[in-house]
């Protein structure tokens, strides 16, 4: 069910380093505000984003999202601390797991 939520969203923004908020379009065409806490779904494994984990923002700096490519897709980027405390550049294509389910963010495992 994951897919390009970007196609049915407006005003996508990252707040507090781990919340994505946006206006999502429902099936009936209405636009509603929605949010998802990425910290509940993404972790940090030795300086790399990890699916099906949690708490990445606790060891991250320079957290940002960008809309990229021909898709386009939403990419999460940050510098994450590895086991030695060094910052490592990491990125994650959020469109692989996020979708719009009738005006609500949906996260597929």
Q: What is the pLDDT of residues 82-107, one digit of tens each?
A: 999 999 999 999 989 999 999 999 99
Residue 3: its pLDDT value, please?
59
Q: What is the pLDDT of residues 49-88, one digit of tens each?
A: 999 999 999 999 999 999 888 778 889 999 999 999 999 9
For 12, the 3-state DSSP assignment is strand
Of the candidates 52, 55, 38, 44, the residue with the CA atom closest to the CA atom of residue 80: 44
Q: Is the pLDDT of residue 45 over 80?
A: yes
Q: For 98, list phi and psi in degrees, rounded to 5.
A: -100, 145
Of the candidates 1, 78, 68, 69, the residue with the CA atom closest to the CA atom of residue 43: 78
Which has more confidence, 75 or 1? 75
Residue 1: its pLDDT value, please?
39
């Amino acid at each position: 069910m994951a897919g390009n939520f970007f196609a049915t969203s407006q005003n996508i923004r990252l707040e507090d380093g781990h919340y994505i908020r946006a206006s999502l379009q429902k099936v009936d065409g209405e636009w509603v505000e929605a949010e998802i806490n990425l910290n509940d779904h993404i972790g940090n494994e030795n300086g790399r984003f990890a699916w099906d984990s949690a708490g990445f923002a606790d060891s991250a700096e320079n957290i940002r999202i960008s809309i990229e490519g021909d898709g386009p897709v939403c990419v999460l980027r940050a510098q994450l601390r590895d086991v030695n405390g060094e910052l490592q550049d990491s990125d994650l294509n959020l469109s692989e797991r996020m979708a719009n389910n009738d005006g609500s963010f949906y996260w597929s495992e």
